[in-house]
Amino acid sequence: MFEDYFDLQLQLAGHYAAITGLPFDAAVDTCTNLRRRLGLWSDAGEGRWHALLARLRPLGGNRPAALALCLDVLAAHPPAQPAQPFGCFSYDAPDAAGTLRLHFMPPPGTATSPLAHAHMDDRRQELRALFAHLRQSQAPVRAVMGVSWLYNLEAYLRLFPPAYRASVAAPGFALHLNGSSTWGQVLDWRQAVKPGVRDAVRARLGHMRPGAPWRAFPLQALAASCAVGHFHAWLA
């Protein structure tokens, strides 16, 4: 299922290695979300991830061999599907300043577009459940933040309180490519590669800037944030 997705990531990593002089395995570590997709993001997966990078290193620009290796790892150890108690939404625990990081990922097996207008009530109910859980747990949340390509979409923005929507802007920090905040735009809600986005990324590789590889994507990840009270009021 992920063959085309992995192949595009390896192609981008190979190009990044070529223009920066980094070893191929370092480019894979920097410019792909393969570690997450292979279920190796946790501390428990760190050793297996570095073992995979060591096997990728001598392959250099041999993308078919690198792809076959990644697919073999996926087949041998399919990542466990995490519980998703809040449907499409999840969060990272608040940081030292009390800022919670919000994430959006449709659960496996989603049958229709989760951002279709007919499903807006479902998504808001998921947000209500998430923030009710936070209040009950008395988590020290002061603010909510998100970074995602999805903030380019009105269908996503309409889920959130006005103050959060109004804050959307280009982030004032370097983006990373080891999650789905940028790479997510390549897949549709069925987790299939979007041919138009794939082709757009490939067409932009020749203009990739070493200091900003995320610019190779058609949509740039944007950041949003506001005080948590705006969410509680919006979802009341």
Mean pLDDT (whole number) for 105-129? 93
The pLDDT value recorded for residue 108 is: 82
Nearest to 56 by CA among 38, 83, 78, 44: 38
Mean pLDDT (whole number) for 27-46? 94
The pLDDT value recorded for residue 46 is: 95
Mean pLDDT (whole number) for 178-182? 96
Within 10 A of 137 (CB to CB), how many other CB atoms are there? Answer: 9
Confidence band, pLDDT 50/70/90 cuts, at residue 83:
confident
The pLDDT value recorded for residue 181 is: 97
The pLDDT value recorded for residue 185 is: 98
Confidence band, pLDDT 50/70/90 cuts, at residue 61:
confident
Measured between its terminal Cα atoms, the distance across the chain in Å is 40
The pLDDT value recorded for residue 44 is: 87
The pLDDT value recorded for residue 176 is: 93
The pLDDT value recorded for residue 84 is: 87
pLDDT at 132 over 80: yes
17 burial type by CB count under 10 A (0-12 exposed, 13-18 middle, 19+ buried):
buried
Mean pLDDT (whole number) for 16-32? 97
pLDDT at 1 over 80: no
- Strands 89-92 and 143-148 turn out to be unpaired
pLDDT at 17 over 80: yes
- Numbers of helices and strands, H then E, in the chain: 11, 4
Mean pLDDT (whole number) for 115-125? 96
Q: Is the pLDDT higher at 170 or at 190? A: 170
Tokens encoding 160: 């959130």
Confidence band, pLDDT 50/70/90 cuts, at residue 109:
confident
pLDDT at 30 over 90: yes
What value does the mean pLDDT of the chain take? 95
